[in-house]
């Protein structure tokens, strides 16, 4: 096992071997994987950027502030919900955007109000799902890129066998290991991408259910009150 450590620069600190020049090692792996490793690395950067963006964006408290509906209802009861406050509500959060769309058409009846809410909700959901198709595509493509790199590497290995024979076993083993690097890299990118894609889909589903519950409360409260006033 000691000979394996001689491939890279190491030093001992408190009895623990710690690698130096990690960047150089990573660069050697990238070069060993060939030009397809560049695409896999770009995929990994995109996955990381999308995950950070969605983790920041898909904050339930930002999308559906806890006391927003109660505040809107109080303003509505007091007659303070004018066009200016309605515009502010629309710009405040995704839930505010949906509520504002419904309130702007509340006087047209329950059906029209629900249609306007559904239309606004469709735009909100589309914004929440932004980049998820890209994330899912990368999750599907990254292992294929790795497999393609392995196939190309194996072709090179067999071409070497045809030209020089099988006498140099260590060279052939090195070529095969280099060919498998791309598969390992592709799977390393794809597995977290699949996990995060499913996580974000589930989180969006939960947020959409919460948005629906809040808007249904507003529609029911508004039109049940109108029905009561009409009956009186």
pTM of the predicted structure, to 2 decimals: 0.78
- Give the side-chain half-sphere CA count within 13 A for 148: 12
Helix%, strand%, coil% for the chain, nearest 5: 85, 5, 15
How far apart (Å, rounded) are the C-alpha atoms in residues 161 and 122? 59
Q: Is the pLDDT of residue 24 over 70?
A: no
* Residue of 150, 153, 151, 143 whose CA lies nearest to 189: 143
Q: What pLDDT does residue 16 have? A: 46
Q: Which of 18-22, 86-90, 198-202 has the lowest mean pLDDT?
A: 18-22
Tens digits of residue pLDDT in 198-222 = 999 999 999 999 999 888 888 887 7
Q: Is the pLDDT of residue 227 over 60?
A: no
Q: What pLDDT does residue 82 have? A: 80
Q: What pLDDT does residue 186 have? A: 92
């Amino acid at each position: 096992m000691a000979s394996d450590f001689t491939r890279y620069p190491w030093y001992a600190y408190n009895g623990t071997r710690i690698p130096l020049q990690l960047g150089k090692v990573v660069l050697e792996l990238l070069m060993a994987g060939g030009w397809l490793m560049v695409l896999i690395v770009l995929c990994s950067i995109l996955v990381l950027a999308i995950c950070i963006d969605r983790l920041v964006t898909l904050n339930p408290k930002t999308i559906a502030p806890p006391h927003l509906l109660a505040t809107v209802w109080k303003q509505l009861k007091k007659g303070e919900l004018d066009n200016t406050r309605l515009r502010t509500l629309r710009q405040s959060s995704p839930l505010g955007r949906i509520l504002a769309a419904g309130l702007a058409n509340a006087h047209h009846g329950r059906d029209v109000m629900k249609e306007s809410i559904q239309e606004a909700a469709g735009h909100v959901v589309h914004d929440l799902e932004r980049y998820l198709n890209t994330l899912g595509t990368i999750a599907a493509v990254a292992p294929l890129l790795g497999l393609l790199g392995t196939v190309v590497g194996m072709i090179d290995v067999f071409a070497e066998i045809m030209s020089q024979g099988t006498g140099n076993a260590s060279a052939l083993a090195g070529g095969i290991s280099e060919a498998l690097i791309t598969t390992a890299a592709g799977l390393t990118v794809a597995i977290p991408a699949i996990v995060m894609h499913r996580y974000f889909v589930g989180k969006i589903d939960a947020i959409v259910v919460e948005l629906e519950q809040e808007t249904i409360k507003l529609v029911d409260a508004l039109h049940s009150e109108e029905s009561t006033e009409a009956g009186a």
